[in-house]
Amino acid sequence: MYEQVSHSLLNEILDELKPEIRRQNLRHFYTRLGANFYAVHSLFHHLYGHRDDFRARMIDLVEVMASRYIERDEALERSDMAREMDHNWFLDQEWVGMALYADGFAGNLKGVNAHLSYLQELGVNLVHIMPMLLCPDGASDGGYAVSDFRHINPRLGTLDDVDALASSMRKRDMLLVLDVVVNHTSDEHEWARRARDGESAYEDYYYVFPDREIPDMFEETMPEIFPDSSPGNFTFDERMGKWVMTVFNSYQWDLNYSNPAVFIEMVDIILYWANRGADIVRLDAVAFLWKKVGTICQNEREAHLILQLMKDCCQVTAPGVLFIAEAIVAPFEITKYFGEDAIVAKECEIAYNATLMALLWDAVATRNARLLNRGIRSQPGKLDRATWLNYVRCHDDIGLGFDDVDIEHVGYDPRAHRTFLLDYFTGAYDGSTARGRPFGRNHKTGDARISGSLASLVGLEAAIESGDEAAIDRCIRLILLLHGIILSYGGIPLIYYGDELGTTNDYSFANDADRAGDNRWMHRPRIDWERAERRYRHGTVESRIFDGLKRLIGVRKSIKAFADFNNRELLETENDHLLVFKRSHPEHPADVVLVVANFDARPQHLDLGRLTASAHPEIARPTDLASGELPAIQGNSLVVPPYRFYWLTEQRLAGII
Ligand code: GLC
């Protein structure tokens, strides 16, 4: 019944579209709108059906989808169709990503374009360019406080530079990932300025309150995101004489998605960037999209409905474009950003695997894989046609967001364990050479997260400083081990720029007034291209890391079992120091790879016989695809050297495990 209503409504809406839209050739658009209209209409109705202007807004939404469809150029349309045919295209093992700031990496967007061959040399073919849109000079949160969603920050370039970059990447078969900061705007965005000027339509774009009554109610249950630099979730705006919700920094105003105008604006912006050549759109801070008094204002059901609706709208206009969910939330909440009660992803196709990232750091500090194994086991399964973005470091801090139940299960006290990790990575723990710093310390709860570059956190900065060759070697092995896991785990590995050269902390942020209050800047480096040349000099730190990664990336791309079809099986071992999992391709079952990683500083043994219930393994000599070497076997045991990992393959291994 409802379906019928929505269909006749579709026809009515199409009749009401502006004549200039109706005149166009909208063949594919009509087909896709027809296929998705029931979902679009019912979600939009669920969110906004109670409003008098529901129907008018529904027409606005269809008009936005149609207008952006008309603008979509032919090459992008072709790619939409190709991807619709090959709809699992992004699950392939051929994709390897890097996240970078255009200025830090190569000065500006032209510089990025000029350095694409460097990325190709490494094997990277998916590039996430950190936010590059117009934002205030100082109060910018590294670009996440956008003051104009359709203009490029002049420091980084122009729209023409983006077009040039997108087209040059397309020619090289590289994917472009761009950010759309959906949760908030800068307080200098035109919408915020007009709200300040008293335009009530724009005040409705945000959460604005005349006094503290409702803000105080919200504060009772809302956590603080930047408790030391921007405490509380509301900021008093002098000009308006009112309180505005600002969950992140005081200059980032949260958008109010209970207003359909906000939703429609954002869909328009997403489609605008899809049309400018983004293959994948990273949706920032998606957990925060819906606010409700009495909740933590994260992971609300409506936040998921908004994402589903965004996806359905994108499916109509630009179906080849994927979404990445940036939702750094509890492990059991993250997988919900693919969608629930479905077979294939229906919200975002890709999500940051913050759980794996944090667990890997736990294994680094403890030198064992107890919590890592437990955490992976507890991670809910994901849908089909959904994949992880697996990473070791990114531009943000490392949150210790493990599940307390898991921490207890492996025998630690959650509070004491988090304190240990913080001490370890800030170098306060005896014997630790990590050089991180606490980030976002909350003096009320005692919680903190960790800033620092990969190289400095694993101790490479200290090892280089003291000239300790053995320690340098250990750190490099650890860097390769962590990457060895994200390259084989299942999903798209996302390398963080600078890590491929072993770039250590950059302490210069402390001298810049705009950055000094945010120590995440110490791991947002400026690439020194002269130093990068050392990757060609045999034996240098740069060449050992760069070449090591390059090799691993090349091997990953050749292993079909590393494509992500939820084809990973974690294997129980008797040895706490090891992470062991099996990857096998559903269509090539003989193509089995056993990933074995040792987080300990001592060699560890893996009893291959115990991996199978029918303990008659006749182990021949498995080969390590990662290094091309034959690993040492003693009896039935595989000997795994310190901080070493293997990608083992061997036909008979396939038969027994
Ligand atoms: C995301 C970004 C982070 C930013 C925050 C607010 O978490 O990754 O860098 O501070 O959103 O936009």
- Residue 145 CA, closest ligand 1 atom number: 12
User: What confidence tier does 654 reach under pLDDT thresholds 50, 70, 90?
Assistant: very low
Whether the CB of 412 sits within 6 Å of ligand 1: no
Tell me what the mean pLDDT of segment 57-83 comes to.
Answer: 96
CATH of domain 568-651: 2.60.40.1180
> How far does residue 183's CA lie from ligand 1's centre (Å)?
10
Sequence spans of domains, the chain: 568-651
The model's pLDDT over 533-548, given as tens digits with 9 standing for 90+, comes to 999 999 999 999 999 9
Rg (CA), the chain: 25
- Residues β-bridged to residue 584: 592
Taking 50 as the threshold, does the pLDDT of residue 591 lie above it? Answer: yes
| Single-letter code of the amino acid located at 619 | I
Q: Which two tokens stand for residue 483?
A: 């990457």
DSSP string of 257-315?
A: TTSHHHHHHHHHHHHHHHHTT-SEEEETTGGGS---TTS-SSS-HHHHHHHHHHHHHHH
Whether the CB of 396 sits within 6 Å of ligand 1: yes
Residue 150, SS3 per DSSP = strand
The model's pLDDT over 500-532, given as tens digits with 9 standing for 90+, comes to 999 999 999 999 999 999 999 999 999 999 999
What's the confidence (pLDDT) of residue 622?
Answer: 84
Please give the mean pLDDT across all residues of the chain. Answer: 94
> How far does residue 249's CA lie from ligand 1's centre (Å)?
10
What's the N-to-C CA distance of the chain in angstroms?
52
> How far does residue 344's CA lie from ligand 1's centre (Å)?
27
Taking 80 as the threshold, does the pLDDT of residue 189 lie above it? Answer: yes
What's the confidence (pLDDT) of residue 21?
Answer: 86
Picking from 564, 560, 549, the residue whose alpha carbon sits closest to that of residue 496 is 549
Picking from 325, 321, 271, the residue whose alpha carbon sits closest to that of residue 298 is 325
Q: Give yes or no: 173 in active site.
A: no
CA distances from 455 to 349, 368, 433, 438, 527 (A): 30, 20, 11, 16, 14
- Residue 181 CA, closest ligand 1 atom number: 12
What percentage of the chain has pLDDT greater than the value 70? 96
Q: Which range among 10-19, 275-284, 315-324 shows the weakest confidence by mean pLDDT? A: 10-19
Q: Which of 186, 228, 249, 284 to mutate to test the pocket of ligand 1 (most atoms within 8 A of CB)?
A: 284
Q: Give yes or no: 20 in active site.
A: no
The model's pLDDT over 333-376, given as tens digits with 9 standing for 90+, comes to 999 999 999 999 999 999 999 999 999 999 999 999 999 999 99
Whether the CB of 397 sits within 6 Å of ligand 1: no
Tell me what the mean pLDDT of segment 585-597 comes to.
Answer: 87
The model's pLDDT over 233-242, given as tens digits with 9 standing for 90+, comes to 999 999 999 9
> How far does residue 228's CA lie from ligand 1's centre (Å)?
16
Catalytic option among 60, 187, 224, 284: 284
Taking 70 as the threshold, does the pLDDT of residue 149 lie above it? Answer: yes
Taking 50 as the threshold, does the pLDDT of residue 616 lie above it? Answer: no
Q: Which of 146, 248, 391 to mutate to test the pocket of ligand 1 (most atoms within 8 A of CB)?
A: 248
User: What confidence tier does 653 reach under pLDDT thresholds 50, 70, 90?
Assistant: low
Whether the CB of 284 sits within 6 Å of ligand 1: yes
What's the confidence (pLDDT) of residue 345?
Answer: 94
> How far does residue 498's CA lie from ligand 1's centre (Å)?
20
- Residue 395 CA, closest ligand 1 atom number: 9
Q: Which of 132, 133, 144, 226 to mutate to test the pocket of ligand 1 (most atoms within 8 A of CB)?
A: 144
Q: Which of 185, 334, 394, 396 to mutate to test the pocket of ligand 1 (most atoms within 8 A of CB)?
A: 396
Catalytic option among 141, 326, 347, 564: 326
Residues 6+ positions from 108 with CB-CB distance below 8 Å:
102, 155, 156, 157, 161
- Rounded to an integer, what distance in angstroms lies between the CA atom of residue 112 and that of residue 114? 5
CA distances from 27 to 265, 317, 627, 650 (A): 25, 12, 52, 51
Nearest CA to ligand 1 atom 11: 285
The model's pLDDT over 92-140, given as tens digits with 9 standing for 90+, comes to 999 999 999 999 999 999 999 999 999 999 999 999 999 999 999 988 9
Residues 6+ positions from 653 with CB-CB distance below 8 Å:
592, 594, 608, 619, 620, 622
What's the confidence (pLDDT) of residue 5?
Answer: 65
Whether the CB of 285 sits within 6 Å of ligand 1: yes
- Rounded to an integer, what distance in angstroms lies between the CA atom of residue 599 and that of residue 478? 8
